[in-house]
Amino acid sequence: MTTVYDFSAKTIDGREISLKDFEGKVLLIVNTASKCGFTPQYEGLEALHKKYGPKGFAVLGFPCNQFGAQEPGDASEIANFCKLTYDVDFPLFAKIDVNGDNAHPLFQLLKKQAPGLLGSEAVKWNFTKFLVDSKGQVQERFAPATKPEALGSQIEKLLARA
């Protein structure tokens, strides 16, 4: 069965890495944007990363410009914004598409394994979150309006099973 570990992605600084580097960790994979009403969620995502990181958890942020052109910057602008505004320390990746013909293969898997409302696969907006267990299987999709701090109990359950 295909897992998130079967994919690779470019980091925000342009290095190609295998998601196998995160094998055994519980992951929260999020499509992000710097100019969105949900952008302040970076703060909550970083708080989750700091709180649960030592226990085997990581947030992975994937900037995306497909929703209202709310991620217009280049890689260095995105990285600087995230670091200076929200002190983001969790891994950020290069800007990708999450929907359409050019959707990153990782997001194709995430959407298939955790469809949205009424079984729709498309990501509807920035800050859609996918919770992945320590075996690389998608467990749940959360809507953009779901605040990161509301995910603690689900993360703790997966960490307890890891």
Catalytic machinery residues: 36
DSSP code at position 56 = T
Amino acid code (one letter) for 47: A
Q: How far apart are CA 160 and CA 162, in angstroms?
A: 6
Structure-token match 């995306």, residue found: 64
CB–CB of 67/125 below 8 Å? yes
Residue 113 exposure: Cα atoms within 13 Å on the Cβ side: 20
Report the length, in residues, of the chain: 162
* Residue 66: partners with Cβ closer than 8 Å, 6 or more residues away: 97, 98, 99, 100, 123
- CA 64 vs CA 30, 92, 150: distances in Å: 10, 11, 23
